[in-house]
Structure 1
Amino acid sequence: MTYEIILLGVAILVAVGILLHHPSKTLGIPSLLIFMGVGLGLGNGEFNFVYDNLALTSTVGAIALNIIVFVGGINTSTQSIKLAYKEGGMLATFGVLFTTVSLAALLHFILGWELITCLLFAAIVSSTDAAAVFSILESKKLKLKEQTDTVLEFESATNDPVALVMVTILTAIALAPTEVVSYSAISITLAQQIFVGIVFAYLIGKLAVYLLNHVKLEEYGLIPVFILASFIIAAYGSELLGGNILIASYVVGVVIGNGISRGGEVSKHFFNSLSWLAQSLMFIILGLQIFPQTLFNVFMVSLIPAALLMFVARPLAVQLCYLPFTQASWKKRMLISAIGLKGATPIVFALIPATAGVPGSIDIVHMVFFIVLFSILLQGAALEPLAKKFKLDQ
């Protein structure tokens, strides 16, 4: 297949997804489901076209996720971070760990899966999804009291790195189960990824801000292009140095978004459009990768981990994380417990062990798809009614 046909096909799929965006908002259906549905409907046997490339899907998904997190950073004000970093930071780190451990223990006890499989599966679905949270809050025009929406946004934008590190480490363990696990090495790796990711991205972001504020570019259109180049340097340079690419993407976005004095609005419009393109491509290619005829083989078994995640593991993790925050109302805790929105991120994470060849990982991808679907349909739909019930809507 020539690249012209590939580009034509991708452009048609994106255009169809965008045209369906408005009716999806009218019907209350998240746009990510529309884009994924377009991929599901057209990619696996229809029109004599079959797409099956785990490596390419994983690569495209990872790049798109980096862009989405970066744009989330650009749109995050330092004032929001000051309001939410304590609660959101606790949820983004210990919340992910608590969710992973509790869900893995439940799956091991109830379903009898191997412990490493339980841990890997739980780590994949442990984090909330930034694209899903931003999309649903925006589509419903929700502003929540007690900075609840700010906490949810901050958590979803910053919790992927911890989950990604755990998935990567557990994938390596699953591929070599006989090797002795070094917890000190895991701790050092995690600390290195966080430290290098933050420091390197912060320095690159500050340098980019200094240059943009002192070199007066006459053509405003060049500003977002320079910012895009700075993002790539910060994110992928950090990864080469041993840092976490998602942390770096978010940090450089925050630094640049809050630091530039010229071209801010132009840049935000540009990057919001880029984020939409990244989301649409990611959801479409994930839809193309998943074969509908194989999904039903794991539908029933997916119900158990989905229910345990939504009704036990997530609420338990949130309540544990909120123990130090005695000033937070029980209504706020209950709403955050109930809204652990999943999106394309867990599917992208599930592709890591699948691409590496972990036994049974294809079934995990399909199960994660259903968990994401249940989360969007149930938790996404419940956000507004629960906010009204707890009187947290503005």
Structure 2
Amino acid sequence: MNEYILIGASILLLMSVLVSKISDRLGIPALLLFLILGMLAGSDGPGGIYFDDPALAQFVGVVALVLILFSGGLDTEWNRVRPVIKEGLILSTLGVFITALVVGLFASVLLGFSLVEGLLLGSIVSSTDAAAVFSVLRSKGISLKGQLKPLLELESGSNDPMAIFLTVGLIQLITQPDLSPVNLIGLFVLQMLVGAVLGYGMGRVMLFLVNRLKLGYEGLYPVLTLSLVFLTFGLTDAIGGSGFLAVYLAGIVLGHHDCIHKRSLLRFHDGLAWLMQIAMFLTLGLLVFPSRLVPIIGIGLLIAGCLMFVARPVSIFVGLLSSALNWREKTFMSWVGLRGAVPIILATFPLLARIPQAELIFNVIFFIVLTSVLLQGTSIPLIARWLRVDAPAISKRLYPIEYTPMGGLKSELKELPVPSNSHMAGKAIVELGLPADFLVILIARDN
């Protein structure tokens, strides 16, 4: 019996890898195809796999999200993000709150929900997924001008904790009617502070251990960082902090500093993040019953329209009121607020809490995510060109050389492109007047 499970899982993984290739060619976010693949494999599809376990789906989603956030933090270039730190934090807090409020009020009126139930739906769908945006742009050979890319990266990496807090807090208000909303404000501040402090602290611990332990095998370093990631999340969550914020910040701290085998660690965690994305989307796709989405198509389209054309633009233009971004950049930011896996994961929380409207909320959220990814995701290159915020994508070649600083040495490895109009072009190395301790390791010419 176990071998059939392995065969089925391996086939789904293999198909997901092949589907990602199609995604790059067509410019469609891979997460959409992963979800569709999961739905086809589910009980309503030709695969016929019956899966109706929200608890397991939530567990897979949380584990995947922890690893994805850490990988995102590890890959974040702090020097590029630092100039937009204020705008990013505003969007990840005030922006999320405004989105949840606008969508929640609209859903309350449309669905006949109570105010708290409507706000719960709005909170679940309030976080964004920038990875899908960049994958589409990369497949079309497009980049973004100015500070748009680092701002989108920072917003999507840091707005999940706010959405999670609002979702959990509103569920508590529904299940515990005597609880005062004022109590949630202090809890939010505590969660963010504890998450930020422990995230930074554990990031420094990771850096110290990676550089000082001197393990005998290179393959043990990813095992070390993986164990520390889960320790960071578990420890922070256990003492009342935001574990998701902590792992994201720990990733930023480790990624910002030089450490042993850094490139191999980046490759490992990037591959692991892809595996977790596939597993998460397949699981969430299996969890939904497509036949139950048909009756709520009209409702789903109306709420998705409110999210894309009202809530997101309002949150952007209000949140970035004092920003130096021009109207074109703000309009583009308004359109690229794609919803990803986090809303679907959060939609399992009401199911486990046995809230009366939980199943309807889950199906509506799933439909909104599909609509957002399909409509917004496929139109991103066109909107970027129309608003003139696009720029040619510069593909950076990574050469097969990795330098590991040992024994406190301050040396570092740099890749320096030499343009045709550079004063170095056409000269021999000896004519460049380089410092005595400058070592040329590799020259790449014409591929």
Give yes or no for TM over 0.5.
yes
The 2-side partners of 1:353 and 1:102 are apart by 20
- Give the letter aligned to residue 63 of structure 2: I
The answer for the alignment partner of 1:343 in structure 2 is: 340
Contact 1:14–1:35 under 8 Å retained in 2:
no
The answer for the alignment partner of 1:29 in structure 2 is: 28
The answer for the alignment partner of 1:386 in structure 2 is: 383
Contact 1:103–1:308 under 8 Å retained in 2:
yes
Higher helix share: 1
The 1-side partners of 2:186 and 2:138 are apart by 38
Distance 1:316 1:29, change over 3 A: same
Deviation string, structure 1 residues 83-131 (Cα, Å, up to 9, x no partner): 2211111111100001111222233345443211110000011111244
The answer for the alignment partner of 2:312 in structure 1 is: 314
Deviation string, structure 1 residues 309-330 (Cα, Å, up to 9, x no partner): 10001101111001122x2211
- Give the letter aligned to residue 70 of structure 1: F
- Give the letter aligned to residue 369 of structure 2: V
The answer for the alignment partner of 1:83 in structure 2 is: 83
The answer for the alignment partner of 1:10 in structure 2 is: 9
Contact 1:146–1:332 under 8 Å retained in 2:
no
Secondary structure at 2:163's aligned position in 1?
A: helix
Distance 1:3 1:60, change over 3 A: farther
Q: Which has the larger radius of gyration?
A: 2
> TM-score scaled to structure 1, two decimals?
0.95
Matches within 5 A, 1:59-98: 59-98=59-98
1:4 Cα shift? Answer: 3.9
- Give the letter aligned to residue 254 of structure 2: I
Matches within 5 A, 1:272-283: 272-283=270-281
The answer for the alignment partner of 2:41 in structure 1 is: 42
Contact 1:39–1:288 under 8 Å retained in 2:
yes
Contact 2:338–2:373 under 8 Å retained in 1:
yes
The 1-side partners of 2:332 and 2:342 are apart by 22
Deviation string, structure 1 residues 364-385 (Cα, Å, up to 9, x no partner): 1111111111111111122211
- Give the letter aligned to residue 36 of structure 1: L
Size of the aligned set, in residue pairs, is 390
Indicate whether 1:361 and 2:361 are aligned. no
> TM-score scaled to structure 2, two decimals?
0.84
Matches within 5 A, 1:36-185: 36-44=35-43, 46=46, 48-176=48-176, 179-185=177-183
- Give the letter aligned to residue 369 of structure 1: F
1:29 Cα shift? Answer: 2.0
Distance 1:203 1:116, change over 3 A: same
The 2-side partners of 1:4 and 1:319 are apart by 54
Contact 1:69–1:130 under 8 Å retained in 2:
no
The answer for the alignment partner of 2:240 in structure 1 is: 242
Instruction: Identify the match of residue 303 of structure 1 among 301, 304, 312.
Output: 301
Secondary structure at 1:40's aligned position in 2?
A: helix
The 1-side partners of 2:380 and 2:49 are apart by 38
Contact 2:25–2:139 under 8 Å retained in 1:
no
- Give the letter aligned to residue 334 of structure 1: T
1:47 Cα shift? Answer: 5.1
The 2-side partners of 1:48 and 1:288 are apart by 10
The answer for the alignment partner of 1:204 in structure 2 is: 202
Stretches of 4+ aligned residues off by more than 6 angstroms = none
Distance 1:141 1:73, change over 3 A: farther
The 2-side partners of 1:9 and 1:86 are apart by 46
Matches within 5 A, 1:253-268: 253-268=251-266
1:218 Cα shift? Answer: 4.2
- Give the letter aligned to residue 359 of structure 1: P
The 2-side partners of 1:330 and 1:295 are apart by 36
Indicate whether 1:232 and 2:230 are aligned. yes
Stretch moving more, 126-135 or 218-227: 126-135
The 2-side partners of 1:140 and 1:256 are apart by 31
Distance 1:117 1:57, change over 3 A: same
The 1-side partners of 2:135 and 2:276 are apart by 13
Contact 1:133–1:153 under 8 Å retained in 2:
no
